[in-house]
Structure 1
């Protein structure tokens, strides 16, 4: 029987001298069903005004912190929104921990986050760097291809996270980007299984390194590797955040290939795993979303790979929510007909430990009380969840120092490392010679520059900025990979659909290039179709998250381009449509191959 009162509470679980396993059992023995149920939910949360706890987040239908922590016994939260002031964030974190400490058992909060070290701003996937050091997207790290650099990035990110109290990274994303249209490809290491495996392992090592001898512990950030068993093979490249993208298909029979990066992650001690929303079609597994899929979670992950860490569902499998401007149904693909109660039970039977983006602890309490899921089964997950908090040192000291946070996050050394990585990730794919036989890049000093997509004040440090192509010696145009507009604001954060540039964009670039040698830079959050520009542009650079200054440093020769394509660059949409979404390098006659990249001669 569990204790329902604070009288005679055995607080020995707070003794750091005891083995973690003993501390877990001593705490578990005193937990009520509602306290156990609260551990199962990882709800979204936002920093309140001026670092106060605030009243919740109506845009995502989220109750107040007091209701979540004191009322529903929740103590795992996913921090929403860019973080502008590290000291404010640290003070807010401490207030949240004080609220948790005031509860009967004082179970500390674990704060998690989506990636927040690059240029993306998508409330469903990643946040821009804001106060943190600014790096290229994961795809840009893949373009550099250096394991040591990836581990260094992760170690810096770890230090910045820990400084403000973020102790769980909802990344890395080691899916293989084998469907060029997929909106989540930018957060992967590309479509090559070996490169992804090497870099994903380095990423985990950097984040999970602790302060003591590098072992996992109080200085670590626990990684939640995603999306098991591989989220890349999407039907028509659509994303399963939405019903039209719910199917994952394997016409090339490459299901096993997509497991390789997860095997590498497990080999270096990945602590947590997140299954994706998608449902496998035409495989040996039940055609239900991976978070409901016992054959995948228990059969593959638990039994075949022996994984005893935390499995957390992706966000919003049980209940639908109002998100930004529209109601989005639960991503209960394949089990849409089940009630919320039945969905929750199916996830637990599949082997999950946590429900991402949910806060329905009362429903789980009712399920346990009714005997529909045994308390012994619940305790299996509770042990895993408590163990992680103890090993992270949260029971011993959950607080952070606001002054240290301000000094650590985005410090000069960290920013310099991120800016160097931005420059290194830039990938030069064409560089034609002018009439004198000299390659267009690097640009000569003192040229008249016409720029689009670059702040003229930044460009002025590299040449004389002029107002039209006709006045220029060279034009530098920055574009973003195209995407199709969808019905809601939330959908449009996920760039999907055709990879072809609209006719008016092609016409504009062609018109400028006819007047002046033109350098085209394309932000490739997906592998855009660049065929119309290859003959027109004097040089083409791909970027995966780089500032205007980083780009111009490379164009001017202050830095050398080092990036190599982390995917095949398709030559046409016909080739993309004809390719098999589970098979890497399957588009016919690609414009440029994986690994392509030019540089400048050594000076």
Structure 2
């Protein structure tokens, strides 16, 4: 049943229903009418999306040194901006009230153009301020790698639908995800946010993800719009470094797999995605100009728009124009290949490349200056402004931008959503080794509960009646459980919170730490659980443990349930686990499933037989 058309809002406060204010009018007529009423300054404001934070009580942040570069009121009323990315969180009611205050501020502007609020992922375990936020009040699910480990399109759709419902309740209308890069370079820090290394798997899951966020076949007032990233695929990073940093700016294709990395984006376009973000990296050794993808006309106009037929919104990654430090005066994400250009020239080059919006920037006056000086046609600004307005109209923001704080409290982290996420965490756990110990039981059929030593997670994660007896002495235990994280290699001098959030470098444990681990494994039969945010190199551990479980975002309680047999793990590896670091360092960053002798291959995952009393 079609929803009733809402009565028009008098957005420009003149007592007359203009076409852009009338919900009964077609979207294209509303866009054209509003665009014709806008000043150049108002159009330019549409082209910028920057970070906002909120006060814990839901009030607006009005400090001059706020992360967005100015007080909130100044950004909306002074710079005509109305696209923002919420960093941080609060309680559901406070988030909803903060969002409504933003919309009230926007409603008082000359044309009443509503705010579009975006968010990085916030439904899992990652807590890197540059890429994703820990779930907090929202329901908690496996990382995207965990969804890929299950490969269940229906579950992905259910997950994205839950994200949609929780986001909508607090006013978030654009998801800065899914991340459909391919994690073909094992050392790359961003692999954790992907569906793994396989193009076919990622392509199969992106459509259901978009459907879940939309809440159906097309975008409407019930939808969250997805901004997929990072075109044309951010995985093939030289040496596995990340282009947020100067030592990671090069993206390379020694294996000739450039088109392989495009496959998930082709699938996303076929599934109706309306927003895409290119990455920071610059292609090296290809037919394309060696400049960052956000400045790259061959990539955005030639490849994305002309060859792939995408006519939606292209938003750059954050802070390309001013080399602005991210997270304070810490570490900048720069404009690779065009460092010599000033802000005006960079603005022009991004627009000439075919992008529509500048992420992490708040300088619409530079677009105005380019037009007033004759260096940029206003008609070019109109093209991007129309795309951005069209999305606002489709999302229903002009007709009803406000949310209900009571509904937000009832929706965010609702018991049903938390239960769904918890069940998915358990299913996504991936058994790699099992010497007939899982589900856990007492050795030799003894009816007494096994004595269990636990390290790396709370021992009470196994408090399930009389299922086990806990001991703090591994020498007295029948079994041990050891929970580990994938190793990473901190950079010398990397003293910023921002840079430390990127786990990259070597994938094997340092010699002394490995000795400690193997000492425990040699003392007591040990079940090892390792969080595989990247493909760890763990041949000695795999050989000497009695069971090995890969985790892709799972609570301690979820791990305990699987080990004790109260839940059934179903995961399969979404990438290969290499056997040696030498194999990794000599590999080709763009090549999928390259190892001919991996420790565990893509798709490996054991099934557990149920235990009977």
Mapped contact 2:344–2:366 kept (Cα < 8 A) = yes
How far apart are residue 491 of structure 1 and its match?
Answer: 1.2
Q: Give 1:61 deviation, angstroms.
A: 5.9
Q: Does residue 71 of structure 1 match 2:74? A: no
User: Counterpart in 1 of 2:25?
Assistant: 18
Q: How does 1:123-522 map to 2 (within 5 A)?
A: 123-210=129-216, 214-324=217-327, 326-432=329-435, 439-444=436-441, 446-461=449-464, 462-486=467-491, 487=494, 488-522=496-530
| Whole-angstrom CA distance in 1 between matches of 2:268 and 2:178 | 9
Q: Distance in 2 between matches of 1:293 and 1:57?
A: 33
Whole-angstrom distance in 2 between the partners of 1:522 and 1:58: 40
Measure the CA separation in 2 of the matches of 1:49 and 1:216: 31
Unaligned runs of 5+ in 1: 433-438
SS of residue paired to 1:42: strand
Provide Cα deviations, 1:145-174, integer angstroms capped at 9, x if missing partner. 111110110011111111110000101111
Task: Give the SS at the match of 1:157.
Answer: helix
Length, aligned pairs only: 589
Q: Give me the whole-angstrom Cα distance separating, in 1, the residues matched to 2:332 and 2:554.
A: 35
State whether residues 321 and 327 of structure 1, in contact with CA within 8 Å, keep that contact through their aligned partners in structure 2.
no
**8 Å contact kept, 1:578–1:587:** no
| Counterpart-to-counterpart distance in 1, 2:87 and 2:375 | 33
Quickly say closer, same or farther: Cα 1:476–1:325, change in 2 above 3 A.
Answer: farther
Which residue of 1 is the match for residue 542 of structure 2? 534
Moved more, 185-194 or 510-519: 510-519
Most deviating of 470-479 and 85-94: 470-479
Per-residue deviation, 1:414: 0.6
What's the CA shift for 1:64? 1.3
What secondary structure does 2:121 align onto? coil
Match of 2:107 in 1: 101
Shift of 1:588: 4.4
Q: 1:82-101 residue pairs with structure 2 within 5 A?
A: 83-101=89-107
Number of the residue aligned with 2:8: none
Shift of 1:560: 1.5
Separation in structure 1 between the aligned mates of residue 528 and residue 248 of structure 2, nearest angstrom: 32
3-state secondary structure, aligned to 1:266: helix
Distance in 1, Cα, partners of 2:440 & 2:329: 48
**Using the alignment, how far apart are the partners of 1:302 and 1:78 within structure 2?**
25
Shift of 1:7: 7.3
The Cα offsets for residues 85-118 of structure 1, whole Å up to 9 and x where unpaired, read as: 1111001100010001011111000000011100
The answer to whether the 8 Å contact 1:319/1:329 transfers is: no
Q: How far 1:572 sits from its partner (Å)?
A: 0.7
Contact 1:429 1:596 in 2 (8 A): yes
SS of 1:449's equivalent in the other structure is strand
Kindly indicate whether residue 124 of structure 2 is the aligned counterpart of residue 118 of structure 1: yes
The 3 A distance-change label for structure 1 pair 259 and 369 is same
Q: CA deviation at 1:256?
A: 0.6
TM-score (norm 2): 0.94
Offset of 1:323 from its aligned partner? 2.9
How many Å apart are 1:406 and its aligned residue?
0.8
CA shift digits 1:9-68 (9 cap, x unpaired): 873311000001111111111101110110011100111230001224847463211011
In the alignment, the residues of structure 2 paired with residue 222 and residue 47 of structure 1 have an alpha-carbon distance, to the nearest angstrom, of 22
Conservation of the 8 A alpha-carbon contact between 2:68 and 2:362: no
Residue aligning to 1:46: 53
Superposed CA RMSD in Å reads 1.6
SS at match of 1:226: strand
Maintained 8 Å contact 1:480/1:524: yes
Q: CA deviation at 1:6?
A: 7.9
Counterparts of 2:194 and 2:372 in 1: how far apart (Å)? Answer: 42
CA contact (8 A) 1:227 1:274 kept: yes
Q: The residue matched to 1:342 in structure 2 has which SS?
A: helix
**Matches of 2:57 and 2:261 in 1, distance apart?**
44
The 2-side partners of 1:288 and 1:126 are apart by 26
Please tell me whether the aligned partners of residues 429 and 552 of structure 2 are also in contact (alpha carbons under 8 angstroms). yes
Whole-Å separation in 1 of the counterparts to 2:64 and 2:199: 39
**1:48/1:55 contact within 8 Å kept:** no
The superposition leaves residues 237-281 of structure 1 with CA deviations (integer Å, 9 ceiling, x where unpaired) of: 000011111101111111011111101000110010001111011
Distance 2:136 2:130 in 1: 17
In the other structure, the counterpart of 1:436 is none
Cα displacement (A) at 1:504: 2.3
Alignment deviations for residues 468-496 of structure 1 (CA, whole Å, 9 cap, x no partner): 21222211111111111121321110101
Aligned partner of 2:606 in structure 1 is 598
Tell me the SS of whatever aligns to 2:559. Answer: helix
**Contact map agreement 2:50 2:68 (CA 8 A) in 1:** no
The alpha-carbon deviation at position 215 of structure 1 amounts to 3.2
Please give the alpha-carbon distance, in whole angstroms, between the structure 2 residues aligned to 1:10 and 1:371. Answer: 35
> Equivalent residue of 1:49, what SS?
coil
Where does residue 577 of structure 1 map in the other structure? Answer: 585
User: 1:7 and 1:413 mapped to 2: Cα distance?
Assistant: 46
CA distance 1:255–1:57, shift in 2 (3 Å): farther
1:562, CA displacement in angstroms?
0.5
For the 8 Å contact 2:19–2:29, the answer to whether it is kept is no
1:464, CA displacement in angstroms?
Answer: 2.3
Q: Which moved more, 1:460-469 or 1:489-498?
A: 460-469
**Which ranges of structure 2 fall in alignment gaps of 5 or more residues?**
1-11, 443-448
Give the SS at the match of 1:593: coil
Distance 1:6 1:510 in 2: 72
**Which residue of the partner structure matches residue 435 of structure 1?**
none
Cα offset for 1:465? 2.1
Q: 1:330 to 1:319 in 2, by over 3 A?
A: farther
Deviations 1:62-92 (A, max 9, x none): 32110111111110000101x3411110011
CA contact (8 A) 1:170 1:223 kept: yes
Are the counterparts in 1 of residues 123 and 163 from structure 2 also a CA contact under 8 Å? Answer: yes
